[in-house]
Amino acid sequence: MLESILNFLNTTGIAKLLGNEPVEIVKTLIMYVIIGTLFYLAVVKKFEPLLLLPIAFGMLLANLPGANIFHMEYFFDEYYMEAYPNDYAAMLVDGHIPISTMIKEVFNRGGLIDILYIGVKSGLYPSLIFMGVGAMTDFTALIANPKSLLIGAAAQLGVFVAFSGALLSGQFNPLEAASIGIIGGADGPTAILVTKTLAPALLGGIAIAAYSYMALIPIIQPPFMKMLTTKKERSIVMKELRQVSQVEKVVFPILVTIIVTFIVPDAAPLVGFLMLGNLFNVCGVTDRLSKTAQNELCNIVTIFLGVSVGATANASNFLSAKTLLIIVLGLVAFSVSTMGGLLFAKLMCFLTGGKINPLIGSAGVSAVPMAARVSQIEGQKANPANFLLMHAMGPNVAGVIGSAVAAGVFLSTYSGATII
């Protein structure tokens, strides 16, 4: 009887936690504090709660001793090298362990979150979320004022500045630096797709940094908006946008998919699904598909994505100087992207003789529609008669396409590379 009780006690999480080294115990406790903070930010402060809450809960599940529901190592080549040293060479396809082998291992030995994580590893979730975003997004403002596409391109400046910063720091290899840089695209699914491909070990830190900064856009952007624009510029009232014909709305997603994919094929999983969702919404004959993409499907995938990405942040890989540096570089990426968009919009304001309010530039960082709302709020503060929301939606959705193109460039440059 006593033996049974002792055996049971040894299987408890408390016994497993106390059985660790003191450093590991402290690290686990620090993780609980971080998880608690994320819960607070999501529930009380309402910072991106739809994603931050599942991410925080995924982190909690992964850091509960003995829960054994996630094994990150199953998704790395090194695990197979050590677990199957004799068969390893035969397992390789194009120099890497294929996802089919990982799936087999997950179903043989894995836990619940391992199964959910297959959707991240295969790139399924980011694309499906992009389809939902496409179905929810109105591209009319962009079609009516296509010049704003250039602002969306300029607002990717932070991506490459942060990439360069990470690389020059000497702490990150080019693949990791690219994953950190893409935080500046202010687009969660894009950041996740790039990171799961190039630097899966950093996925937890990068996803949390990306979503936290996206939630903090109303705090991060206004100081730069005020610093880089004059009161007169912020007060500019822009001309009403023209009407967009139904033909334009329907041809737009097809055309964007073709053009972007012809030039940057690696952006196809993101741009293609973004535009598919949009086509569902605008064509007028697929209302049911549009509603599914916007609601049920997007919500289900958001839960799976959030929980499985959160689970990648365990104490051993999350509590490191690298994570701290990722958070700092992520802030740099966001700030420089905001400045890039603002300065380019300022240039356009100058070239058009004051017809463009530079405040719409900050919306080029993507983060739909929060960045556009910030432009609207700041514009109304300067001039209560100002209504910039629709004008800012142009650069805002251009930023989504721009960050997907930037991600495509990183993927085509580094995907499949091996760092030695």
Partner 1 sequence: MNTTLLMLDAAATGKVIEFSSWTFADRVSEALSVSLLGLGTTFAVLALLWGVLEIFRFFFYDLPNKRKNGKKTESAPVKPAPAPAPVAAPVVSRAADSDEEIVAAITAAVSLVLDKPATSFRVVSFRRTGTR
Q: Find the farthest-apart pair of alpha carbons in the chain and give their distance in angstroms, rounded.
A: 87
Cβ-Cβ contacts under 8 Å for 168 (sequence gap 6 or more): none
Residue 29 as a binder of partner 1 (CB under 8 A): the answer is no
Q: Please give the helix or strand (H or E) that residue 245 lies within, else none.
A: none
Which of residues 15, 92, 124, 237 is near partner 1 by CB under 8 A?
92
DSSP bridge pairs for 96: 93
CB of residue 162 vs partner 1: minimum separation in angstroms? 10
Check residue 157 for interaction with partner 1 (CB under 8 A).
Answer: yes
Residue 153 interacts with partner 1 (CB under 8 A): yes or no: yes
Distance CA 152, CA 162 (A): 17
Contact 400, 274 (CB under 8 A): yes
- Say how far apart CA 75 and CA 94 lie, in whole Å: 16
Chain center to CA of 10: 40
Binding mask 255-274 for partner 1 (x = CB under 8 A): xx--xx--xx----------
Task: Between 81 and 136, name the residue whose CB sits nearer to partner 1.
Answer: 81
d(C-alpha 109, C-alpha 139), whole Å: 45
In the bound state with partner 1, the residue whose beta carbon lies nearer, of 189 and 402, is: 402
Least distance between partner 1 and beta carbon 75 (Å)? 16
Intra-chain end-to-end CA distance of the chain, in Å: 55
* Interface size with partner 1, residues (CB under 8 A): 61
Report the residue from 30, 112, 167, 325 that binds partner 1 according to the rule CB under 8 A.
Answer: 167
In this structure, what token pair is assigned to residue 109?
A: 């030995």
Contacts of 395 (CB under 8 A, 6+ apart): 148, 151, 152, 155, 341, 345, 360, 361, 363, 364, 372
Q: Does the footprint of partner 1 cover residue 78 (CB under 8 A)? A: yes
User: Which of 251, 327, 328, 347 contacts partner 1 by CB under 8 A?
Assistant: 251
* Interacting residue with partner 1 among 19, 66, 146, 223 (CB under 8 A): 146
- Between residues 271 and 307, which has the closer beta carbon with respect to partner 1? 271
Stretch that binds partner 1, among 51-59, 194-202, 247-255, 351-359 (CB under 8 A): 247-255
Among 45, 46, 96, 104, the residue binding partner 1 under the rule CB under 8 A is 96
Cβ 302 to partner 1, closest distance in Å? 27
* Residue from the set 50, 248, 325, 387 that interacts with partner 1 by CB under 8 A: 248
**Comparison of 59 and 400: residue with beta carbon closer to partner 1:** 400
How far is C-alpha 221 from the chain's CA centre?
18
- C-alpha–C-alpha distance, residues 327 and 317, integer Å: 14
- Supply the minimum distance, in Å, between the C-beta of residue 325 and partner 1: 15
Nearer to partner 1 by C-beta: 28 or 140? Answer: 140
The 3-state DSSP class for residue 388 equals: coil
Q: How far is the CB of 209 from partner 1 (least distance, A)?
A: 20
Is there a contact between 410 and 184 (Cβ–Cβ < 8 Å)? Answer: no
Q: What are the residues whose beta carbons fall under 8 Å from the beta carbon of 356, sequence distance 6 or more? A: 236, 238, 345, 348, 349
Three-state DSSP class for residue 420: coil
Residue 17 CA to residue 66 CA, distance in Å, equals 8
Q: Is 93 helix (H, G, I), strand (E, B) or coil?
A: strand
Q: Out of 101, 127, 140, 156, which residue is the one contacting partner 1 (CB under 8 A)? A: 156
Contact positions toward partner 1, by CB under 8 A?
A: 77-78, 81, 88-89, 92, 94-96, 142-143, 146-147, 149-150, 152-154, 156-157, 159-161, 163-164, 167-168, 170, 173-175, 177-178, 242-245, 247-248, 251-252, 255-256, 259-260, 263-264, 398, 401-402, 405-406, 409-410, 413-414, 416-420
